[in-house]
Amino acid sequence: MSSTDLLHLHLVSDATGETNHQIARACLVQFEDVRAKEHVWSLVRTGSYLDKVIAGVEANPGPVLFTLVDPDLRRRLEEACRRIEVPCLPVLDPIVMTLANYMGRESHPRPGRQHEMDAAYFNRIEAMDFTLAHDDGQQVHDLEEADIVILGVSRTSKTPTSLYLANRGYKTANVPIVPDVPPPDEIFHLKRPLVVAFTTDPARLIQVRRNRVLMLKQREETDYVAMEQVRKEVAEARRMFVKNGWPVIDVTRRSIEETSAAVLQHLEARETGNV
């Protein structure tokens, strides 16, 4: 297959298909210059719908990643893929089998089980409500109820990281560090939450801020995007972080997912005493 060819990738699921989508994306980024078209087949729970899926694979042959628990649907899809001569992979089977063997227990498959509204689901909703109410320093009187408090100067990805962590079930507040404005006294007395600080390269920060200024159609000639002032702002914030013993994460060119993973590493280290 040349770099100019189009890869047809069929994602077949008896639920929302989100698991297939995430796995496919994580794998595709490992290949450079690959043109891929994802054919998403979700809520595949009947034979008639599976017929449409098979017809789609025949029309655009390509690898099939599937999460189906119905044994008859699985068998029919695998037989069709063998006939069409395309790979067919049950993406969750190796993990489920490994866990079952280790625990000595049988799994009990049910479509969409991971999306049921269980306690974890409602915890995520509660975390999201808390995070939205505590975005950008909106509320500081009850920060002790947070799991994580993020500090950082403007445009260091505090809000998107907070929302990502909230979706993982962590109550996350973020507080901006503003030049010449004392931070809320409450952050210096927190006991329960993990307080973590974000920093970044000043040059990169100015690029991000300039894009923000242009989007808002504001004037650029301000200290907000002046190199000397931004360097001073970042340096002073970092001195405060170090002085208070807060872990500092450099978010320069990190994705939100990578930054969130770093935050959770600090949280786990604190909870296990491996700080």
Using pLDDT thresholds of 50, 70 and 90, give the confidence band for residue 230: very high
Whole-model pTM over 0.85: no
What is the domain extent for residue 217? 119-272
Q: Do 161 and 150 contact (CB within 8 A), yes or no?
A: yes
- Among the ranges given (2-11, 15-24, 203-212, 250-259), the one the predictor scored with the smallest mean pLDDT: 2-11
On the question of pLDDT at 180 being above 70, the answer is yes
Q: How confident is the model at residue 122 (pLDDT cuts 50, 70, 90)?
A: confident
Same domain, 130 and 61: no
Between CA 254 and CA 83 the distance in angstroms is 44
Across the range 231-241, mean pLDDT stands at: 97
d(C-alpha 93, C-alpha 272), whole Å: 32
Task: List the one residue out of 97, 113, 91 whose CA is nearest residue 16.
Answer: 113
48 appears as a binding residue in the annotation:
no
Residues 104 and 228 in one domain: no
Residue 115's pLDDT is 54
Residue pair 210/216 in contact by the 8 Å Cβ criterion = no
Residues 30, 87: one domain?
Answer: yes
Task: State the amino acid at position 28 in one-letter form.
Answer: L
- Judge whether 243 is annotated as a binding position: no
- State the burial class of residue 19 (Cβ atoms within 10 Å of its Cβ: 0-12, 13-18, 19+): middle
Strand partners for 89: 65
Residue 157 assigned as binding residue: yes
In this predicted structure, the answer to whether residue 114 has a pLDDT above a threshold of 80 is no
Q: Is 172 annotated as a binding residue?
A: no
Q: Is 156 annotated as a binding residue?
A: yes
Query: Do residues 260 and 141 both lie within one domain?
Result: yes
- DSSP 8-state symbol, 91: T
pLDDT at 275: 64
Candidates 49, 57, 254; CA nearest to 161 is 254
245 annotated ligand binder: no
Average pLDDT, the chain: 91
User: Averaged over 213-225, what is the pLDDT?
Assistant: 79
pLDDT score, position 179: 95
153 is in an annotated binding site: yes
Average pLDDT score over residue span 257-268: 94
pLDDT band of residue 133 (cuts 50, 70, 90) is very high
Residue 252 assigned ligand-binding role:
no
Q: Indicate which CATH number applies to the domain containing 230.
A: 3.40.50
Q: Which of the given ranges, 13-17, 60-64, 213-217, has the highest pLDDT on average? A: 60-64
Determine, yes or no, domain membership for 1. Answer: no
Number of domains into which the chain is organized: 2
Sign of CA dihedral 156, 159, 164, 168: positive
